[in-house]
Structure 1
Amino acid sequence: MDYPELAARTRRFSYGAPRAVTVSPDGARVIFLRSAGPEDPTDALWVFDVATRAERCVANPAQLLRDQPDLPPAERALRERLRLSAGGIGSFALDGAGVLAVFPLGGRLFRADLLTGDVTEIDTVGPVVDPRLDPTGRRIAYVTGGALRVIDADGTDAVLAGEEGVTWGLAEFIGAEEFGRFRGYWWSPDGHSILTARVDESRVPAWHLHDPSQPEQPPTTIAYPHAGATNAKVTLHVLDLDGGWVDVHWDRETYPYLVAAGWSEQGGPLLAVLRRLQQHGLVIAVDPRTGETQVHAELADPRWVEPVAGTPAHLADGRVLVGGELAHDGYDARCLFADGSLITPPHLYVRRVTGRLDGDLIVEASDGEPSEQHIFHIPVTQSSPRANRLTTEPGWHTAQAAGRTIVIGSQSLERGGVEYNIIHNDESIGSISSNAAQPPFAPRPALERVTDRRIPAGVVYPRSHVAGRRLPVLVAIYGGPGHQEVIAARARWLEKQWWADQGFAVVSIDNRGTPGVAPSYDKAIHRRFSDVILADQVDALEALAGKHPDLDLGRVAIRGWSFGGWLSGLGVLRRPDVYHCAVVGAPVTDWSLYDTAYTERYLGLPADAPDVYAHNSLIELASEPPVRPEDARPMLLVHGLVDDNVVAAHTLRLSAALLAAGRPHSMIPLTGATHMAAGGLAEKLLRIELDFIRRSLPPPTPA
């Protein structure tokens, strides 16, 4: 079976691989999700027992449900925000001891005893979204129909908060999509009250999505806060189970974005909030008795504040952990601070706080090489910042830790998939097995740092390549904030190797604006997206050709999805001398049609910076006829018709502008597809894209 078919059937070799790996608070168990095989999309709940060093299945959806009904709309939306395409058990939540788990399955609620293996279905009044046990394990909260409900130990199912036209206990679109806050409520440590978000979207613009291939179906209406428009109104409240109600007070007009929230035993709730343009934020503590708040830290940056995942949080000694940047005395680093004191060395680029090990921190960070991520143990009681690196193998490592147990997931260029190593009391005691398929080949990218800006880049050749044979170039890009293409993990290069084997030198470049190098590298794109990013792409491509003479820069195609789709369209429209054709997937063609938090973070408000928006618009570029006929480079546009993130209007309007200007292009509308293009559609498009690129590139140029 060829790669596109195998990748589609195995969901890019992810079916059967462990995911959602979690360590119980006492470190006695490792809980995770995994399906039965490489073509099985249905994830089951598994437990690895640290004492016996054995794993066992606790909850198998095939045994719990004969057939899985449709997911509730709120659950589908949450999975889309999580980019989760697997079936079966999508997520689970534990009690404070880590001995009980709850999970939704087809809108129904189940509770599992992780010690005995007993699984019980709990009756509910409606389809269940995001169920969570209170820390004592006596009660279960869940959301249904926009209302937050609680099931008591005796089975009583009561509304804690609910009203027509608003939602309680769910993250709003911006919180989940742009800030990675997928939750909307948090139990108190004693299980007697809940900090919950109330979301009012009544003033958010209503957009209507409709798949023309289903004319009998009514359109779906969503609240979409596009750039410059009104956001959802998000408020927080502490609700007691006995009916008490406290409003949380902060200046929501000045700081409308709730970026993070949490509640630990070391203190009351902690929040991180940001101004609309995200250049200033606050870390605030909440008194759950009164709702009054106290500022613990201020976050500021003239470009934008970039929070560190896993912060803010209380340390065991009560200090408040905050992530931020060190940008003085010659430093250019992403660091962690405890009550204002630096606790991570400034040579680290801290990406995420991922757990605790005997009170100390476990973090994921890069140390000088952005293509690699390693795991570091950070002592929190040292007088000077210190970090002990726990991973030695080159690659991309993730971790989860609690008690005396840490689970490290490792990827590298030397092997396929993720290997999970379980370490207890500093001893490796086992691993989590994988049922995923192994890819049919091993890519071997050449990773480089090029130009005086040391831009990360990689080149993949056909496996049969003979030096001296000139190759057309395919630039496979993303190029946007929050994502890297050039990482030392085999999975990132599998599809690129397939493209290379079709006769291309495949190039990926992480321009300024992508993470991992330094904060100044991340933020060089502020208010000048297209100029900085495209200049880096062109300069890096030319520098790579200087190192790799087999790259034929007279035949260059560019291909990307989402932000990468915008960048591929930008390339052929603005630099037809460099790029000769483009596959433009789900692009943001007009930034005023994209969401508030993301767009305004980088470009400002449309009313304040109309020239900035116009300068970065593909529609503005496409509307101008080419200076020379040969500069009208062919484009293949692809978009899912029910995409609720980058709506299909982006591509439809781009197509209209291209047509009006006489620019050649083709378009593939994906019926029923969201932004993920799930169901193997992306892989099934590969041969169509290949044919388009082969037909569109000019003939070989002389050496």
Structure 2
Amino acid sequence: MDEQLTSEEAGPDQASAIADFPRLKARTLRFTLGAPRSAQAVGDGSRALFLRSDGPEDLVTSLWLSSFDDQGRHHEVLLADPRTLLADADEEEVPAEELARRERSREGGEGIVSYSVDEAGDRVVFTVGGLLWLTQIAQDGLSASTRPLGRMEADGSRHYADLSILNPTISPDGSKVAYTTGRMMVLVTIGGQAGQDGEYPILSLKEGAGEDVQLGLAEFAAAEEMDRYEGFWWSPDSDALLVEHSDESDEPIWYISDPANPQNPPQTRRYPKALTVNARVGLTLAALDADGYVNGACEVDWDRQAFEYLAVVRWQRGRQPLLLVQNRRQNEDRMLSVDTGTAVFSGRIGGGDLGPFPLDPEVLDSLPTQVLGGHEDEKWLDLIEGLPAYRPDGGLVDAFIDGETDTTRLRIDGRLFSPAGCQIRTVLSVGADDVLAVVSTDPRSFDLMRLGYDGSIHVLNRLPGVWTASRAGHGIVVTNRTMASSHGQIKHCYMGADGDLDRLGADGLGLVDSAYLSSGRGGDGRAPANGAADAGGTQPAYASDPTRAAVQHDTRQSKDRGSVDSGHVNSSGGWGAALADHSVDPGFTPNVDFVRMGSHGLFAAIVHPSDSSPYAQADRLPVLLRPYGGPGSQQVVFNQALYWESQWWADQGFLVLTVDGRGTPGRGPAWGRAIFEDMAQVTLDDQLEALAALPDFAPEADLDHVAIMGWSYGGFLSALAVLRAPEHIHAACAGAPPTDWTLYDTHYTERYLGLNPSVYRRNSLIDDAPNLRRPLMLIHGFADDNVSVANTLRLSQALMASGRDHTVLPLTGITHMTNDETVAENLLILQRDFLYKALGIRRR
């Protein structure tokens, strides 16, 4: 076994760090292992839960608690270590449905990868080794006990050992846990100690329900494209459940084979292929009696013919359940309130004596919904995470596309209150006085802002970067990645009895820094951090200086970041501490220029060879385009981690250019919608526009030797470039490319291409196959259930039929994530050597 790395080891110099990068990236899961993640403020905010593995090569994550004691001292408490709970935690067999959920959420870890916590923040549940576990946190927050949860046999085995435990969720009052098997809902009542728990099925599909019917699970389109992974929701009073049921039997059947092992049968699944049929989704309200059995149920009623997508379900304390439903074209939606007060339950009393309640939606009484409002757009509507939501003391907050200012803004009861120019990305919490949100005024920075209902704003981050937070009670957990440091950081902050975010302060929590703001680097006409919005929009008060000085490594970062921070109290009375981080960094700092290019003012990042590279100061360098370039994702962001791989490529002898063109988010609704029904040509045109402008920013750019590479949409764009622009792009590596958009899912594809089959043909690559005259490598995992390998095979078949030479690199057993470390490492090397040969480059 290779020697384990430690977080202090960064290599003797940059050259060796670059040489080690492919192996190190693969072994550390892109440098994420050992870092804290999935942090959530709980209870009164003086506590926060998070996950972390023990080191930079350890995949098995444990559950941890960050807490402040009464004196403001900070502690990190290990709540549950899978290896302590189970001797074979490293060899856990994960149910297929859970593996699918992890693929949808791009989860690459093992051990405890998710958890559920009650409203008080005292009880946490999770699964490991096919068992359900409960962690009970002590009142002082300094210790905890963990035990198996549910009915157990005398030998310690599960009573329901044959049932898969999927998405276990604790009730708000902490007394019960519900989970789904995919076909049945099961309830666990938490006893005082092991052996005193109850566990029994409470809701099941009716007899004879087909194998394509699911209960309590998010359907594929919701999990993959709407970022909705839940399939059931507790009532705030813990006395009812809203449960999704879906019927996928009308969707096309797809088969995922393992050609390297022909003895293995193919996996069969339903897939919502574009221009075909979606799953039929419904929602049932199940009322629970005092013992937790279902004593009645009714079916939530809305116009499913007109609005077939169930995008959001939210059930807040003191409120009726809130739904957001979308039509098939996603250019119209409705916000609905479920009128639970009128529920007339069809069912029986004393469900426990009769077994689980058999769900037959067709015979249940209907539960009406009330339309609270809706949205329309000529092209499409975006889903904003966290919305719609109720303000605690009244008012409905939602997002609105303001065409006059080209801004996605916040409204409360129909009144706009967030400033023009502040593009809402995510809503983190809706409070009594403000909304905490991730907002962009510069699309390269995901800023943390407090947006008051009176129109005021407060920008919390000191530096541009990727910021997010979790707020509960009077505490907040802030997560960030910037260009100033190779490491991200998670800080737990407690603001005291009033919970005022101003107590985050400037002198100890690393947020708004008055010294930095007064340094004169906050130009660009940016407004004060606490200033009210003006008519022209408001900018955050940091210096997003698009120069190389803005991205230099922060030498002030702590050398003992792996140690527990004892915490401190700042001058504003806030408590704060950074969570310990055991991850390793790549050992080098990217050499990046941020620029604006071409007539569209495209945001771009140019990565140059490092000073230690043999290509440093070269007069001519071949160009490598590394885009994603498609809707829904960005690559040109103030986050150092995004440019590590580009730096490796630069030190292999390329000038690396990454461009966010039209269609990418964060720059306004009009910019995003410019690709409607024409995303192939528009996104390609923007890459070519930036390429033509590159010599103005990097005179060493050799436009006679240009390659392109990317994954997923970036793979599509790479293949597209050599097919449609061979005079500009001379070689391509296309990973997992969706070459034929009729093979991709409904919710993503139809949002951008609509429902006209001729539009799909114009935006797909198959008909372009005869045009290939440049080297092209196609790469695809045979186990990819997101972008099917059929995409690559169809393009390869069309190229073969046209007599066009090309290379196909099949990845056996690999999904869309390519998490196998050997594959991930060798993939970089093979692509490099392919491009060297294709461009006629001799390695130095």
In 2, Cα distance between equivalents of 1:23 and 1:454: 39
Letter in 1 for 2:180: V
Which residue, out of 651, 664, 672, partners 1:514?
Answer: 664
Q: Which residue of 2 aligns with 1:580?
A: 730
Which residue, out of 87, 91, 97, partners 1:66?
Answer: 87
Report deviation, 1:318.
2.2
Q: Which residue of 2 aligns with 1:642?
A: 783
Report deviation, 1:469.
1.3
In 1, Cα distance between equivalents of 2:58 and 2:841: 43
1:444-483 correspondence runs (5 A): 444-464=591-611, 465-467=615-617, 469-483=619-633
1:201-251 deviation line (CA, Å, top 9, x unaligned): 111111111111122211101110101111101001110123210211100
Q: Which residue of 1 aligns with 2:458?
A: 388
Report deviation, 1:358.
6.3
SS of 2:797 mapped into structure 1: helix
In 1, Cα distance between equivalents of 2:49 and 2:833: 45
Which residue, out of 200, 212, 219, partners 1:158?
Answer: 200
Report if the CA contact (8 A) 2:597-2:693 is conserved: yes
Which residue, out of 434, 442, 445, partners 2:589?
Answer: 442
Q: Which residue of 1 aligns with 2:410?
A: 336
Report if the CA contact (8 A) 1:107-1:129 is conserved: no
Report deviation, 1:59.
0.4
1:170-249 correspondence runs (5 A): 170-242=217-289, 243-249=295-301
1:267-306 correspondence runs (5 A): 267-289=319-341, 290=343, 291-306=367-382
Report deviation, 1:471.
0.3
Which of 686-695 and 314-323 deviates more? 314-323
In 2, Cα distance between equivalents of 1:536 and 1:21: 37
In 1, Cα distance between equivalents of 2:262 and 2:625: 38
SS of 2:804 mapped into structure 1: coil
Report if the CA contact (8 A) 1:351-1:363 is conserved: yes
In the alignment, structure 1 residue 29 sits paired with structure 2 residue 47? yes
Report deviation, 1:81.
0.4
Report deviation, 1:356.
4.9
Give unpaired runs (5+ residues) of structure 1. Answer: none
Report if the CA contact (8 A) 2:391-2:432 is conserved: no
Letter in 1 for 2:250: R
Q: Which residue of 2 aligns with 1:686?
A: 828
In 1, Cα distance between equivalents of 2:134 and 2:826: 38
Q: Which residue of 1 aligns with 2:706?
A: 556
SS of 2:144 mapped into structure 1: coil
Report deviation, 1:146.
2.5
In 2, Cα distance between equivalents of 1:434 and 1:414: 17
Which residue, out of 119, 142, 154, partners 2:146?
Answer: 119
1:653-676 deviation line (CA, Å, top 9, x unaligned): 111111111222111111111111
Report if the CA contact (8 A) 1:582-1:636 is conserved: yes
In 1, Cα distance between equivalents of 2:135 and 2:434: 30
In 1, Cα distance between equivalents of 2:261 and 2:806: 26
1:311-460 correspondence runs (5 A): 311-328=387-404, 331-356=405-430, 360-367=434-441, 369-380=442-453, 382=454, 385-425=455-495, 426=503, 427-460=574-607
Report deviation, 1:430.
0.7
TM-score, structure 2 normalization: 0.80
Which of 657-666 and 70-79 deviates more? 657-666
Give the paired residue count. Answer: 685
In 2, Cα distance between equivalents of 1:467 and 1:658: 40
Report deviation, 1:428.
4.6
Letter in 2 for 1:579: I
Report deviation, 1:698.
4.5
1:121-140 correspondence runs (5 A): 121-123=148-150, 125=160, 126-140=163-177
In 1, Cα distance between equivalents of 2:780 and 2:717: 15
Q: Which residue of 1 aligns with 2:126?
A: 103
In 2, Cα distance between equivalents of 1:140 and 1:412: 38
Q: Which residue of 1 aligns with 2:364?
A: none
Report deviation, 1:486.
0.4
Q: Which residue of 1 aligns with 2:68?
A: 50
Report if the CA contact (8 A) 1:479-1:563 is conserved: yes
Which residue, out of 516, 521, 524, partners 2:674?
Answer: 524
SS of 1:600 mapped into structure 2: helix
In 1, Cα distance between equivalents of 2:621 and 2:744: 37
Give unpaired runs (5+ residues) of structure 2. Answer: 1-18, 151-157, 192-196, 290-294, 344-366, 496-502, 504-573
Report deviation, 1:355.
2.5
Q: Which residue of 1 aligns with 2:547?
A: none
In 2, Cα distance between equivalents of 1:6 and 1:180: 30
Report if the CA contact (8 A) 1:8-1:684 is conserved: no
Report if the CA contact (8 A) 1:283-1:298 is conserved: yes
Letter in 2 for 1:34: R
Q: Which residue of 1 aligns with 2:32?
A: 14
1:491-506 correspondence runs (5 A): 491-506=641-656
In 2, Cα distance between equivalents of 1:256 and 1:356: 27
Which of 316-325 and 56-65 deviates more? 316-325
TM-score, structure 1 normalization: 0.95
In 2, Cα distance between equivalents of 1:342 and 1:678: 44
Report if the CA contact (8 A) 2:309-2:327 is conserved: yes
SS of 2:682 mapped into structure 1: helix
In 2, Cα distance between equivalents of 1:490 and 1:699: 28
Misfit runs of 4+, over 4 Å: 356-359, 465-468
Report deviation, 1:287.
1.2
Report deviation, 1:295.
1.2
Report if the CA contact (8 A) 2:166-2:182 is conserved: no
Report if the CA contact (8 A) 2:680-2:764 is conserved: no
RMSD (Å) for aligned C-alpha atoms: 1.5
Letter in 2 for 1:35: S
In 2, Cα distance between equivalents of 1:92 and 1:343: 34
**Which protein shows a greater Rg?**
2
In 1, Cα distance between equivalents of 2:253 and 2:202: 28
Letter in 2 for 1:423: C
In the alignment, structure 1 residue 589 sits paired with structure 2 residue 739? yes
In 2, Cα distance between equivalents of 1:55 and 1:326: 45
In 1, Cα distance between equivalents of 2:317 and 2:126: 24
Report if the CA contact (8 A) 2:149-2:190 is conserved: no
In 1, Cα distance between equivalents of 2:676 and 2:130: 42
Letter in 2 for 1:690: R
Letter in 2 for 1:643: D
Identical pairs, percent = 39
In 2, Cα distance between equivalents of 1:217 and 1:287: 50
SS of 2:626 mapped into structure 1: strand
Report deviation, 1:423.
2.2
